[in-house]
Structure 1
Amino acid sequence: MTASVAVVLAALAPAANAEPARPLPVPYGATALATAELGPDVDPPGSNDWTCRPSAEHPNPVVLVHGLLASRSVNWQTMSPLLANAGYCVFALTYGRVTEVAPLSHVGGLRAMESSAAELGAFVDRVREATGADKIDLVGHSEGTVMPQYWLQFLGGAAQVDKYVAVTPLYRGTLADPLPVALLADGLGIRPPLSAAVAAACASCPQFISGSDYLDRMNAQPGGAAVPGVTYTTVMTRYDELVVPYTSGRLDAPNATNVVVQDGCEIDLSDHLSIITTPRTGQIILNALDPAHAVKPPCGVSLPALGGSPVSS
C-alpha cells in the first residue's frame, strides 16, 4: 500500500464514537477502590481514548481533575465509566507528582498548585487538539476544585471552559470554623514556619489552609472565586471531614449553583472521599453537564468511606 493511499483511507475512516460499544461496568462505593488498578499512569475505565470525537449531543470533552494524594486511576473509577457510558469523551490526568521522593511518586497533587495548574493547561491543550473541541468541561474533586482556579484566572483557562463541576470544593480553604486553627496560627505567628515544614514534602498542603496567600489571591477578584463565563456547580456534603466547614465550597455568584447532597436525601452520609463514588453524585454531575436532560438524582444509603448503592429516589 502506498503512502498516499494510506492517507486517503485514514481520512475516510470514521472517527471513534464517544459512546462505548457496550456499557462499561460502573463500580460504586468501596467497590470502586477495590477494583482500581493502582498507579499514577493507569487510565480509569472509559478515559483517555485519544481517537474519541465528541458528539453533537455532548460537544465538550470532560477533563477529570483528581484530589490530593490521589491519581487519575484512584479518583475516577466511578465517574469516568459513568460519563463514558453517557456518551462523553472523557480525559483524566495525574498532576503534581513528586517523582524525586520514591514513596510519594505514585500519587499526585503534591506540588504547588501554580505548577500543577500549568500541567493542567498543557493537558487541556492536548485534549482540545486531539478532539477538535473549542471548549472543555471540568469535573474536579477536592484539590481538583481549587487548583484549576489558578489556570482559569491567570493562565488563560477561562476561555477554554464551559462548565465546571466541583465536588467537595474549598474556595475559602479549610480549618477556619468552627475551630479557627488558621486564625490561631496567624495570631501566634507560627503559620510561616509550619507551612515551610509541611511544604518540604507537600507544597500544596499549606495552600489549602484558610487565609493562605494562594486562596487570598483566588478570591481577590470582585466576584470572588467564580470566574465569569464559566458555569459552576458545587457539590458539597455536610459530613466533609477535610473541608471544614463544608460551606467553604459555596460560591455566591450568579454563574454558580450550590448543591448539598443531603438536601432531599438525609440518608446520604457521604464524606469527603466516598462522595465521589456514589450514584447520587454521579447523577448530579450528569445533570450539571447536560441540564436540558436532567433527571432527579437517586437517593440511597451512603456511608462515610464505604459509599453505597441507590434505592428508589
Structure 2
Amino acid sequence: MRLRTLPLALVVATCTFFGFAAGPAQADDISPPGANDWTCKPSAAHPYPVVLVHGTFENMAKNWSVLSPQIKDAGYCVFALNYGNDATAHIADSAQELHTFVDSVLGATGAKKVDLVGHSQGGMMPRYYLDFLGGATKVDELVGIVPSNHGTTNPLTIPTGYAGCDACTEQMAGSPFLTHLNANGDTVPGPDYTVITTTHDEVVTPYTSAFLDGPAQRVTNVTLQDRCPLDTFEHDQSPNDPVVAQWVLNALGRSGPADPAFTPHCT
C-alpha cells in the first residue's frame, strides 16, 4: 500500500502516535544541548562516553533536548546521532549506522567502550548491533527507555509500515525481525542492560514487552510507577521525565545495571 492511498487522518494519527509531532522540520545536523563535543575526553570517574540513540520518527535534537544536557552536566562526554531516515529504515541497516558512529566516538575520545542510552526503537535497535555486529565488545551498558524489545501489539504499526516505515512493521510483535533478534535470548555476554518502562505506554503495548530476560546482576527492569505511582509520563515524552533521568544516571554511574532498589525523587 502506498502512502497516497492512505486517508490523511490515519497518516497524521499514526505519526503522532509514534511520537512524531507535526511542526517545523529540524535540520539533521543540529545536536541536542551538551552533545557532540568531539574534543571531549572522558574522565576517570566517567570513562565511557554516552551515545544517545533516538526513536522512530524522531531525531537527536528533538528526542534528547532535555536529557542530553543533564547527562553532560553529570560529567559525561555525550554524543548523539541521526540514523535511518528518522529511524524508519530497516533496523539492521540502522544498526550498521550505529556501529560506524560508535567507532567514531571511540576513535575521537580514546575510550575503550561506550554506554548507550536509547528511546523506543533506539533502546531496541542497539541490541542488533550488540548481537550481530560485534558491538558487545564496545559497549559497557545499554539503557533502554520504553524500548520495543519484544515489539508492540498496536495495530497502527501496520498502516504506518505500509506508508514507508520499514522499522514500524519490524517492531510488530512476532515480526520476522524480532523473532530473529530474540531467538538466542535477550542479552549477550558483556554489556549490562537497564530497561525503563511506564504503565502509560500507548505505543509499546503491552508495556511489559519492553522487559528483558537475563541474570539479575546484568539486567534491571524498571517500571516507573513501582516507585512513583503518580508518574504520568507516556511513551513519547518519557525521555523528558525527571524520574527517568534519575534512573538513567543511576545506571550510568555504577558498575552493573541500575540498582533495582534505587528510590528516585518523585516529582
TM-score (norm: length of structure 2): 0.84
2:239 corresponds to: 276
- Whole-Å separation in 2 of the counterparts to 1:170 and 1:47: 24
SS in 2 for 1:214: helix
**Structure 2 counterpart of 1:134, from 108, 112, 119:** 112
SS at match of 1:241: coil
Q: What do residues 105-162 of structure 1 show as CA deviations (whole Å, max 9, x unaligned)?
A: xxx1011001101100000000000000110000000010111111111111111000
Aligned-pair distance for 1:234?
0.2
Matched, 1:210 2:173: yes
Amino acid across the alignment from 1:50: W
What does residue 250 of structure 1 align with? 211
Given the alignment of the two structures, is residue 56 of structure 1 paired with residue 44 of structure 2, yes or no?
yes
CA contact (8 A) 2:99 2:129 kept: yes
Task: Quote the residue 2:201 is aligned against.
Answer: 240
Deviation at 1:37, TM superposition (A): 9.3
Match of 2:152 in 1: 174
Contact map agreement 1:39 1:71 (CA 8 A) in 2: no
Q: Is the 8 A contact 2:227 2:264 kept in 1?
A: no
Structure 2 distance, partners of 1:275, 1:72, is 15
Tell me if 1:96 matches 2:59.
no
The residue type equivalent to 2:212 in the other structure is L
The separation in 1 between residues aligned to 2:148 and 2:31, in whole angstroms, is 26
What residue in structure 2 maps to residue 297 of structure 1? Answer: 264
How far apart are residue 93 of structure 1 and its match?
0.1
2:223 is matched with 260
Aligned pair 1:83/2:68, yes or no?
Answer: no
Question: Runs of 5+ in structure 2 lacking a partner?
Answer: 1-20
CA RMSD of aligned residues (A): 2.3
Report sequence identity in percent.
Answer: 46
Task: Report how far residue 40 of structure 1 moved.
Answer: 2.1
Q: Which amino acid aligns with 1:123?
A: F
Native 8 Å contact 1:37 1:73 kept in 2: no
Match of 2:187 in 1: 226
CA deviation profile, 1:239-260 (whole Å, cap 9, x unmatched): 0000100000111211210001
Where 1:281 maps in the other structure, the secondary structure is helix
Matched, 1:145 2:123: yes
Q: Which structure 1 residue ranges, 5 or more long, are not aligned?
A: 1-32, 98-107, 183-190, 301-313
> What SS does structure 1 have at the residue aligned with 2:225?
coil
- Scaled by the length of structure 1, the TM-score of the pair is 0.72
- Tell me the residue number matched to 2:10: none
CA distance in 1, matches of 2:30, 2:132: 30
Cα pair distance change 1:198/1:252, threshold 3 Å: closer
Structure 1 runs of 4+ aligned residues shifted over 4 Å read 292-295
- Cα deviation per residue 1:148-184 (whole Å; 9 max; x = unaligned)? 11111111111100011100012111007xxxx69xx
Task: Give 1:273's aligned amino acid.
Answer: D
> Helix, strand or coil: the match of 1:287?
helix
CA distance in 2, matches of 1:132, 1:275: 31
> Which residue number in structure 1 is paired with residue 143 of structure 2?
165
Q: Quick one: which amino acid aligns to residue 93 of structure 1?
A: L
Counterpart-to-counterpart distance in 2, 1:244 and 1:205: 13
Question: Compared with structure 1, are the counterparts of its residues 229 and 111 closer, same or farther at alpha carbon in structure 2 (3 Å cutoff)?
Answer: same
Alignment partner, residue 30 of structure 2: 42
* Structure 2 SS opposite 1:235: strand
Distance 1:200-1:241 versus aligned 2 partners, 3 A rule: closer
Aligned residues: 239
Partner SS for 1:204: helix
Task: Kindly provide the amino acid, as one letter, of the partner of residue 73 in structure 2.
Answer: N
Q: CA deviation at 1:199?
A: 4.5
* Structure label with greater radius of gyration: 1
